[in-house]
Amino acid sequence: MPRKPIARDAVLDAFEALLIEVGERAATLDAVAKRAGVSKGGLLYHFPNKEAMISSLLERMDGLAALDIEAMKAAPEGAAAFFIKSSLWADTPLDRVFVAATRLAEVAHEETRRRFAGIQQQWLDVLAEEVGPEMAKAVRYMGDGLYFNAMLEGGAGDTEVKASARSADVGALLAAVERLRT
């Protein structure tokens, strides 16, 4: 029963971190290899080309998203409140892949966009069960907006200040969700 290779994951972690911190353009094979502590040749042994690396990142995203959907369904505070709270950047593994993958989507990477659409639809379905299809949309867009702002900041300066500012906003959004629920 062989364990999953470690170096491969380290490379993927480095790719993810660079996408988040410096954007798609600077997440080059050279930079990823250096950050992962391997040579470029070593990197390309694990992933024959860059597209393969992206594919693996999307696999990781789908896996973590599936776990998140389950947690959302089982959340005691309700799916809507869970969704808003988890739309806030918390540096979780899921947050990280999401932001990383968004950097790729912005570069017009079609496969990435398709994956996002699939996950968003699942969220919407769960939300609709709780608050109805109409209000589910309002909640969904609020969460997307929260996420969008986290993503726009990325590794920019003063990230902590902005992140805590958004954290305060979550209270307002949860209050809004309460009012919409009735």
Query: Contact positions toward a second copy, by CB under 8 A?
Result: 21-26, 102-103, 105-108, 110, 113, 116, 133-135, 137-138, 140-149, 151-157, 169, 172-173, 175-176, 179-180
Q: Closer to DNA at the Cβ: 39 or 121?
A: 39
Tokens of 8: 């491969």
Residue 154 contact partner, candidates a second copy, DNA, none, CB within 5 to 8 A by sort of partner: a second copy
SS3 letters for 1-67?
Answer: CCCCCHHHHHHHHHHHHHHHHHCCCCCCHHHHHHHHCCCHHHHHHHCCCHHHHHHHHHHHHHHHHHH
- φ, ψ of residue 97 in degrees (nearest 5): -60, -40
121 binds, among a second copy, DNA, none (CB under 5 to 8 A by kind): none
Shortest reach from residue 155's CB to DNA, in Å: 16
Q: Which has the closest alpha carbon to 47: 95, 3, 14, 1?
A: 14
* Stretch of 37-45, 83-91, 93-101, 122-130 contacting DNA, by CB under 7 A: 37-45
Among 34, 35, 50, 162, binds DNA (CB under 7 A): 50
Task: Verify binding: residue 31, DNA, rule CB under 7 A.
Answer: yes
Residue 45: which of a second copy, DNA, none does it interact with, CB under 5 to 8 A by kind?
Answer: DNA
| CB atoms inside a 10 Å sphere around CB 160 | 8
Dist CA 81 CA 62 (whole Å): 22
What is the contact mask toward DNA in residues 85 to 114, using x (rule: CB under 7 A)?
Answer: ------------------------------
Residue 141 interaction partner, one of a second copy, DNA, none, beta carbon < 5-8 Å per kind? a second copy
Q: 117 near 99, Cβ under 8 Å?
A: no
The structure tokens 């998203």 sit at 65
Tokens in use for 104?
């790729």
Indicate the residue among 5 and 145 with the shorter CB distance to a second copy. Answer: 145
Instruction: Give the shortest CB-104-to-DNA separation in angstroms.
Output: 12
